[in-house]
Amino acid sequence: MPELPEVETVVRDLRRKLIGQAITDLWQDQTMIIKDWRKQRRRVFDPVLIKRFRRDVLGKRVVAVQRRGKNILIFLEGDICLLVHLKMTGHFLFGDWSDGQRRAENYIHVVFNLDSGTDLAFSDVRKFGKILWGAASEILNLPEIVKLGPEPMEDSFTREVLSLRLIGVRTPLKPVLMDPKRIAGIGNIYADEILWRARISPYLSARDLKSSQIKSLHVAIRAVLSRAIDLRGTSMRDYRDTSGEKGSYYDVVSVYGRHGKPCRRCRTQIVREVLRGRSTHFCPRCQPRLA
Ligand SMILES: [Zn+2]
């Protein structure tokens, strides 16, 4: 599942390649990727919905692209905003997606034709991805945006802000880091990497962190995420950028997927355990449970 660095990579690509371009036409199949934000659970293909979508987006130019948590926000002229969530396997692909090309690629469900002559496709093997649209104010007020915690890469995410998010929380630290209502955008891979870097056990209750640990946690969050953004994310399985390329962070991971291998700091074997249903990788020596 794409996490903050992967979505940030996509957002930066979209900013570079999409801003200023108008959507001239649109193709879509009958999967439920384009959704009405008022009826997101609806499972019947609705041609009227597609008609409305076409009316709202065709001829409009892209004016801005932003990220909020793992959501991609594409702002069009005329106060229209698209919210895209890649979910498990969704991705954008720039290229020539005319009929023949599209048929050769099984998982393309939506194609935006752009006035530069390039197409932007939305491909999704598992089909959990979604594209919602509406007035910018409607989209920015959706619960999935409003309820998000602070953005860990913004200047406003200080050590004090992090500390406030952890006060009184009994839950083990790892699921706390992964809770988007507490901090936006951190998923399983980067939570493991961050905790190893900060030398904190994933099992430690968030409320038991000493101030020195909060300090190292804050440094680790920034360091791990910014390195992952520089390397254009992690492609363990499905994630690709908008050119279909893999990110290379997986080549430099410290713990994720390295169980049985020596810790890069102390040579102790990395272990994998299941914590709250998620596989968790850590060094038992660098990250002792009772620290
Ligand atoms: Zn170690």
The alpha-carbon radius of gyration of the chain (Å, integer) is: 20
Which residue bears the tokens 């229209």? 80
Q: Where does CATH 3.20.190.10 sit in the chain?
A: 4-146
CA of 60 to the centre of ligand 1 (A): 53
Residues with Cβ within 8 Å of residue 198, at least 6 apart in sequence: 213, 216, 217, 219, 220
**Residue extent(s) of CATH 1.10.8.50 domains in the chain:** 159-282
pLDDT in tens, the chain (291 residues): 889 999 999 999 999 999 999 999 999 999 999 999 998 888 888 999 999 999 999 999 999 999 999 999 999 999 999 999 999 889 999 999 988 788 777 799 999 999 999 999 999 988 899 999 999 999 999 999 999 999 999 999 999 999 999 998 999 999 999 999 999 999 999 999 999 999 999 999 999 999 999 999 999 999 999 999 999 998 877 788 899 889 999 999 999 999 999 999 999 999 999 999 999 999 999 999 875
For the stretch 78-123, pLDDT in tens is 999 999 999 988 999 999 998 878 877 779 999 999 999 999 999 9
pTM to 2 decimals? Answer: 0.94
Sequential DSSP letters for 3-16: -HHHHHHHHHHHHH
Q: Which residues surround ligand 1, an ion (CB under 5 A)?
A: 263, 265-266, 268, 283, 285-286
Neighbours of 126 (CB within 10 A): 11
For this structure, is 154 an active site residue? no
Query: Which candidate in 17, 70, 102, 197 is catalytic?
Result: 70
Identify whether 150 is a catalytic site residue: no
Pick the CATH number of 4-146 from 3.90.1560.10, 3.30.420.10, 3.20.190.10, 1.20.1560.10: 3.20.190.10
Task: Kindly name the residue from 215, 278, 284, 288 that is annotated as catalytic.
Answer: 278
Give the integer Cα–Cα distance in Å for 199 and 216: 8
Q: How would CATH label the architecture of 159-282? A: Orthogonal Bundle (1.10)
